[in-house]
Structure 1
Amino acid sequence: MKRLLLLISIAMLLFSGILQAAPAVSPVEYEKGVVIFVGPFDQSMQKQYQMGKGELVSIQLTSGPEAGNVVDTFNFISERSPFEIRVKAGDKVIVAVTHDFGKTNYHVSDFDRFDYVYLLAGLFVLVLVVFGRFIGAKSVLVIAFSMLLIFKFFIGQVMNNQYSLTLLTLVVAAIIAVITQLVVSGFSKKTLAAVLGTIGGVAVAGLLSMLSIKFMHLTGLDSEEAMLLKAAVLSQIDFQGVLFAGMVFGALGAVMDVTISIASAVYEVKYVQPAIRFKELVQAGMNVGRDIMGTMSNTLILAYAGSSLPLMLLIASQQNVPMLKILNLNMIVTEFARALTGSIGLICAIPLTAIITALLLNRK
C-alpha cells in the first residue's frame, strides 16, 4: 500500500510539472488562515461541486494580499484516507490558492503547525539559558552554528554533487566537534582531548558505516523521501553517501557528550591528585566511562527505536510473512546498522579519550 501511494505521489508530481508548463494553469500559492466555521454542505451545493461526502469550511485568511477576507471551500472527507484533514473552528491552517481559468479556488492544504515549533524552540532556549547560564547561552550558539553548517553548507554541497560525500561528511563532523568543544569548554588540554576522542570515535563509526553499506548492500533508499528524491527530483545524488552522512551525524552528538564527560572527569582527578600516575589516571577515566557506556549506548538505541516505531509495528503486524524476508529488507537492516555503528563508535571513544586525556595531562 505504501509503495502504491508513493508511485501515485510521484505520478502526481510529474503530472503537475506537465500542468505547470501549460499557460492556462497558474502555480499554487499558499497562505495562512484561521477556520471560523465548519458545517455540512446541503444537497444542492454538493451537486454544484460534484463532490462526494464533505463539509463546508469558512476560513479567514491571515496572510497575503487577501488577508482579512473570509473564503469558503469544500473539504472532502473519505473516512478511509490517512491523509485527509479534519478541521474545526479555531484551527490554524495553510490554504492552497489557485487561479485557474480566471477563477480563484481555495483548499485546505494542511495545518499551520510551525508557530508551535517556534514556541517549543523558545522554551528550549529559555530553559537552556536559565539552568545553564553562560554555558547554556554558548550552547545555543553552537547549536545554531551546527544547524547553519549542515543546512547552508553541507546540504548545498550535496545538491551540487561536486565533492565526495564521505570526505565532506567527515570534514563537517570534525568542524562541528572542534567548534562545539572550544566554544563550550574553552581552549585547554581537556578540550583538546575531548576533540581528539570525538574525532576518533566518529572515525570508528564512519568506518563501520562504510563497511556496512558495502557488505550489506545498503542502497540509502530506505525511506519514502529518499525514493521520491531518487525518482523525481535529485536522481544524480549518491544516496549511499547520504546514508553514510546520516549515520555519522547521528552518532556525533552522543560521542561529543561522552568524550567531554570523560575528559572532564580525568581532568578533575588530576587536579585533586597532581601526583597520580598515568595508568591510574586512565583507569579513573575508564571507571567513569563504564558508568556512562551503558546509558549512552541505550540512549542511541532508544532514539533510533523511537524514530522507527511505525516500522516495528509494521513488522509485528506481518504475521504471514517469513521473518527471514523481513529481517533482510533494506530498510530494516539500515536501521540496525545505523544504531549499532553509532553505539560502537561511542564505546570506542571512551578508552580513546581516557588515554589521550591522561597523556596530555601528564606531559610537562
Structure 2
Amino acid sequence: MKLKPLDLIKYIVPVLFIIALGIFLIKWSDVDKVDLVSNKSQEFEKAVVTEVITDNLQEDGSRVGNQEVKVRFLSGKRKGQVVKAVSTNGSLYGATCYEGMKVVTLTNQSGEVTVTSVYSFNREPYIYGFIGLFFLLLCIVGGKNGVKAVVGLVITFILVLLFLFPAIYRGMSPVNAAVITVILTTIITIFVLTGYTKKSLAAILGTVSGVVISGIAAWLFGKISGISGYNVSNIDSLVSVANCTNIKIGDLLFAGILISSLGAVMDVGLSVASTITEIHDVNPELNVKELFKRGMNVGKDMMGTMANTLILAFAGGSLSELLLDYAYNLPYLQIINSYTIGIELMRGIAGSIGIILTVPLVSMFASVLIKFRLVKFINSPVVSEDTV
C-alpha cells in the first residue's frame, strides 16, 4: 500500500525528532563533574560469601559487633580472588552474611594496605526483577497501551537523567530546567499514548498549564511564608556542592514540586480530555458549552481523589519524621511553624491546586478543539476526525 504525504509526515517527523533529541541528550549529558570526594582509592565490586569465619550471633538471638567472612570477587580486576572481609552490624551499611550470599564489597587501599568490607547485600537483581515485573504486568494488562506506557516511562526517566540533572549541574535555573522537562515529557508521553489528536493537544496544554500553576502556587506560598530552597533538611550538603559547582540550590525545592506534580496532573488532564472526546463521539450535536460542562462533571469526581492521592504521597514520604514529632509530643506551635511541615504542606497543596485548575483548563481546551478545526487538511480522509 502506497503511503500518502500525510502518512509520511505522521511517521517521519516523530522519528526525526527522537533521533535529534537523542543526539542532543548524549552531548548535553557529557558534563565534566568536579571531584567533590576523592574515591580513587575505593572500589565497589560484586562478590559472594564463601565462608563465615567469625559470626556475631549472640545466645539471645541478637547480633552484636562485626562478622569476619571470606568473599570471592565476581567482578573487577580482582575477579576470582578470595579475601577476608568485615561486615558491620549496621542498619544502613553491612549485611548479615551467610555462605553463598551475594554481596557488594567496598575495598579501600592506602599504600600497601588493603581493607575489604561488606557494603551491602547485592539487591541489584531483585531491583531490576521488580521493575521488570511491573513492566510485564503493565504490558499484559494494558496490552498495546501498556507497551506505550512503558515507552513513556522510559523516555521520562531518560529526560530526567540526561537533561534535567545535567541542566541543573551546568547552572541553568532548576525551575526553567524542570519546566522544559515537564513540557518534553508531557508532549512525548501523551503523543506516544494517544497519537496526534485533538485530545492529545488538549491534554498537553492542560497538563503543562496545571504543572506551571502548581509551581507558581508553591513559589507564592514560599514567598509569603518565608520558605525557600535553603530550608530543606540536607541544605548543608547542598551548600557544599553549590560552592564547588554552578548548581543554584535556592530553586531546587520548587523545581522538585513541578516534577513531582506532573504525574497526577497528567493523569487528570488526559482522563478529562478522553472523556470529552468519547462524549462528543457519542453525541456530536453537543456544543462547546455542553462539552465543557460534562468535562467539569467528570473532573470534579476526579479532583478530590487525585488531590487526596497527591497529599498522601507527600505525607507518606515524610512519615518517619512526622511520627517522630508525634512520639516526642512536640507543641502545636513548634510543629505548625517548622520548615519540614511547611514544605510538605506546600508540596501537597501546590500540587493539588494544579490538579484542581487542570480540570477546567483541559475541559475548555478539549471542548474548543473538538468543535473547531484548526488546520485545513482536517477533512482529508488520511487524517482521523479528531486529529489536529
TM bucket (normalised to shorter chain) is: 0.7 to 0.9
Q: Provide the rounded CA distance (Å) in 2 between the counterparts of 1:76 and 1:288.
A: 55
Query: Is residue 255–residue 345 contact of structure 1 (8 Å, CA) maintained in 2?
Result: yes
How far has the Cα of 1:55 moved from its partner?
Answer: 2.4
Instruction: Give yes or no for the alignment of 1:171 onto 2:185.
Output: no
1:60 matched to which residue of 2?
Answer: 72
Which of 336, 339, 343 aligns to 2:345? It is: 336
Q: Which structure 2 residue ranges, 5 or more long, are not aligned?
A: 1-34, 57-63, 374-388
Q: Is the 8 A contact 1:55 1:75 kept in 2?
A: yes
**Candidates 197, 212, 217, aligned match of 1:208:** 217
Q: Secondary structure at the match of 1:339?
A: helix
Aligned to 1:29: 43
Match in the other structure for 1:284:
294
Q: Percent identity?
A: 34
- 1:252 match: 262
Q: Does residue 374 of structure 2 align to residue 362 of structure 1?
A: no
Aligned to 2:321: 311
Residue in 2 that maps onto 1:149: 159
Alpha-carbon separation, structure 2, partners of 1:108 and 1:206: 43
Q: State how far apart, in whole Å, the 1-side matches of 2:286 and 2:216 are.
A: 35
| Deviation of the 1:301 alpha carbon | 1.2
Q: Alpha-carbon deviation of 1:65?
A: 2.2
Alignment of 1:100-179 (within 5 A): 100-161=110-171, 163-179=172-188
TM-score normalized by the length of structure 1:
0.84
SS at match of 1:247: helix
The structure 2 residue matched to 1:275, chosen from 271, 277, 285, is: 285
State whether residues 213 and 240 of structure 1, in contact with CA within 8 Å, keep that contact through their aligned partners in structure 2.
no
Deviation at residue 136 of structure 1 after TM alignment: 1.6
**Matches of 1:254 and 1:265, distance apart in 2:** 17
Task: Look up the match of 2:306.
Answer: 296
Deviations 1:151-185 (A, max 9, x none): 11111011111x33322221221111111111110
Q: d(CA) in 1 for partners of 2:242 and 2:71? A: 33
Per-residue Cα deviation, 1:238-294 (whole angstroms, up to 9, x for no partner): 223111110001111111111110011111111111111222211111111112111
Q: Deviations over 1:60-92 (max 9, x none)?
A: 221112222222123344xxx644534121432
- How far apart, CA to CA, are the structure 2 residues paired with 1:309 and 1:111? 25
Amino acid at match of 1:37: E
Q: Aligned to 2:107, what secondary structure does the other structure show?
A: strand
Q: CA deviation at 1:33?
A: 1.1
Unaligned runs of 5+ in 1: 1-12, 21-25, 43-51
Aligned 8 A contact 1:60 1:68 in 2: yes
Kindly provide the CA deviation profile for residues 25-45 of structure 1, in whole angstroms up to 9, marking residues without a partner as x: x61111111223334379xxx
The answer as to whether partners of 1:193 and 1:263 remain within 8 angstroms in 2 is yes
Report the equivalent of 1:5.
none
Instruction: Tell me which residue corresponds to 1:9.
Output: none
Contact 1:37–1:88 (8 Å) recurs in 2: no
**Aligned position for 1:3:** none
* Alpha-carbon distance change, 288 to 53 in structure 1, aligned in 2, over 3 angstroms: closer
What is the rounded CA distance, in whole Å, between the counterparts of 1:116 and 1:222 in structure 2?
35
Task: After superposition, give the CA deviation of every residue in 1:98-137 in whole Å (9 maximum; x if it has no partner).
Answer: 2323132211122222221110111122112222222222
Distance 1:221 1:87, change over 3 A: farther
Matches within 5 A, 1:171-210: 171-210=180-219
Q: Superposition RMSD on alpha carbons, in Å?
A: 2.3
Amino acid at match of 1:34: V
Runs ≥4 residues deviating over 6 A: none
Give the Cα separation in 2 of the matches to 1:119 and 1:353: 37
Distance verdict in 2 for CA 1:67–1:195, change over 3 Å: same
The 1:361–1:231 alpha-carbon spacing in structure 2 relative to 1, beyond 3 Å, is same
Q: Distance in 1 between matches of 2:277 and 2:84?
A: 66
Equivalent residue letter for 1:29:
E
| Structure 1: distance between partners of 2:278 and 2:206 | 17
- Counterpart contact for 1:142–1:180, Cα < 8 Å: yes
1:241 maps to which of 242, 251, 271: 251
**Count of residues paired in the alignment:** 330
SS at match of 1:30: strand
Give the match for residue 15 of structure 2: none
- Which is worse superposed, 134-143 or 229-238? 229-238
Q: Distance in 1 between matches of 2:93 and 2:175?
A: 40
Whether the 8 Å contact between 2:138 and 2:146 is mirrored in structure 1 is yes
2:54 is matched with: 40
